[in-house]
């Protein structure tokens, strides 16, 4: 029988285990996920292992962060396989609550982050970040880890989480995990599984085009011209639509005109019904 990481399903059982570890003086880490684990998630488990003694991986496909017509029902649910994959990592425990455990009868509270959520993913997916902020707040308070890690793949999500954790004085260190890429450079994502072979080949050009943008901008190109050129190249490469290609300040996510502080290009392009996200650092010159 293949080994599998044990799971608890209730907040009570999660807290009992975390309290037991803390009584032993162990540091606890949390890796929040929606399951369908790929090597990007596993890299987060390995990265947080450097800071903690025990690791909880939560698996919960959070309904409140999916909009109307999005893929909540179709989102892959693969808990048995996920727990087997985690057996090859330093993960200690899976927390896999059901919807009723996470959102109890009468649930009526939402965490909203102003400003940062107005643009990019917030504009394309109204209500998405309220769902993320609310479930992540709950997960952090349910587990009360010392450290929690989130991938830089969802760069705006990481910025939003850092904002409310600071604003609400949640006593957890937030760590960013490096974006993990497939062999052709496509950012690892559970949604890549939705791409057919032809779409997958097109998807591999996303990071190449963004790398060209970063090189052009680093060589002094005008930022708006470089964004437009990248967007045109994505459409020529076969992407159906480009939601945005934007160069922003790496911390505030404000659109900038010059690279004087660390910057980031954030981009979303669509192939078929799949929205692909990517982002890359642009160093200050
Ligand atoms: O990034 C994700 O997988 C989700 O948005 C998260 C942080 C687990 C919250 O549901």
> What is the tens place of the pLDDT at every residue in 214-260?
999 999 999 999 999 999 999 999 999 999 999 999 999 999 999 99
Question: pLDDT, tens digit, for every residue of 37-88?
Answer: 999 999 999 999 999 999 999 999 999 999 999 989 999 999 999 999 999 9
User: 216: CA distance to ligand 1 center in Å?
Assistant: 33
Chain centroid to CA 46: how far?
A: 16
Give the ligand 1 atom nearest the CA of 139.
9
Does residue 2 register a pLDDT over 90? no
Can you tell me the distance from the alpha carbon of 269 to that of 271, in angstroms, rounded to the nearest whole number? 7
Going from N- to C-terminal start, the domains of the chain cover 7-177, 190-282
Q: What is the pLDDT of residue 198?
A: 96
Atom 6 of ligand 1: nearest residue by CA position: 33
| Helix, strand, or coil (residue 102) | helix
Q: Where are the alpha helices (H) located in the chain, listed in sequence order?
A: 11-23, 39-48, 79-86, 99-102, 121-124, 128-143, 155-167, 197-203, 206-218, 223-237
Share of the chain above pLDDT 70, in %: 100
- Whether the predicted pLDDT of 31 surpasses 70: yes
**Cα 165 to Cα 150: distance, rounded to the nearest angstrom:** 13
Q: Is the pLDDT of residue 194 over 70?
A: yes
- Could you tell me if 84 and 3 are in contact, meaning their C-beta atoms sit under 8 angstroms apart? yes
* pLDDT tens, residue by residue, 257-267: 999 999 999 99
Pocket test for ligand 1, best of 59, 62, 165 (most atoms within 8 A of CB): 62
Is residue 1 predicted with pLDDT exceeding 70?
no
Task: Give the residue, out of 95, 102, 103, 135, with the most ligand 1 atoms within 8 A of its beta carbon, to mutate for a pocket test.
Answer: 135
Q: Please give the CATH number for the structural domain made up of 190-282.
A: 3.30.1300.10
Same fold, 7-177 and 190-282: no
Q: What is the pLDDT of residue 47?
A: 98
The answer on pLDDT for 284 being more than 90 is no
Is-contact 226 213, C-beta < 8 A?
A: yes
From the options 2.40.370.10, 3.40.50.620, 3.20.20.10, 3.40.605.10, give the CATH code of 7-177.
3.40.50.620
266 near 120, Cβ under 8 Å?
Answer: yes
The C-alpha atoms of residue 61 and residue 134 are separated, in whole angstroms, by 13
Q: What is the pLDDT of residues 131-160, one digit of tens each?
A: 999 999 999 999 999 999 999 999 999 999
Q: Return d(Cα 231, Cα 2) in angstroms, integer.
A: 45
Active-site amino acid positions: 41
For residue 206, pLDDT over 80 is answered with yes
- Residues in contact with ligand 1 by the CB-under-6-Å rule are 32-34, 62, 65, 132, 135-136, 150, 154, 157
- Dump pLDDT digits (tens) for 172-193: 999 999 999 999 999 999 889 9
Contact 249, 223 (CB under 8 A): no
Tokens 């969802």 belong to residue:
154
């Amino acid at each position: 029988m293949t080994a599998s990481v044990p799971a608890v399903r209730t907040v009570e059982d999660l807290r009992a285990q975390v309290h037991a570890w803390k009584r032993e003086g162990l540091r606890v880490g949390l890796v929040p996920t929606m399951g369908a684990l790929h090597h990007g998630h596993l890299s987060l488990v390995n990265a947080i292992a450097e800071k903690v003694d025990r690791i909880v991986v939560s698996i919960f496909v959070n309904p409140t962060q999916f909009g109307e017509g999005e893929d909540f029902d179709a989102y892959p649910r693969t808990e048995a396989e996920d727990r087997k994959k985690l057996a090859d990592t330093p993960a200690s425990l899976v927390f896999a609550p059901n919807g009723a455990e996470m959102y109890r009868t009468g649930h009526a509270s939402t965490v909203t982050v102003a400003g940062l959520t107005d643009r990019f993913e917030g504009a394309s997916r109204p209500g998405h970040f309220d769902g993320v902020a609310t479930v992540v707040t709950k997960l952090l308070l349910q587990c009360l880890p010392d450290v929690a890690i989130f991938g830089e793949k969802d760069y705006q999500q990481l910025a939003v989480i850092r904002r409310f954790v600071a604003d609400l004085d949640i006593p957890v260190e937030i760590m960013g995990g490096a974006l993990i890429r497939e062999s052709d450079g496509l950012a690892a994502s559970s949604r890549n599984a939705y791409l057919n072979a032809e779409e997958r080949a097109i998807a591999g050009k996303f990071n190449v085009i963004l790398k060209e943008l970063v090189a052009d901008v680093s060589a002094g190109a005008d930022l708006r011209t470089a964004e437009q050129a990248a967007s045109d190249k994505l459409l020529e490469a076969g992407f159906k639509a480009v939601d945005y290609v934007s160069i922003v300040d790496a911390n505030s996510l404000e659109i900038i005109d010059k690279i004087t502080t660390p910057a980031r290009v954030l981009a979303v392009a669509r192939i078929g019904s799949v929205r692909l996200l990517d982002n890359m650092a642009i160093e200050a010159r």
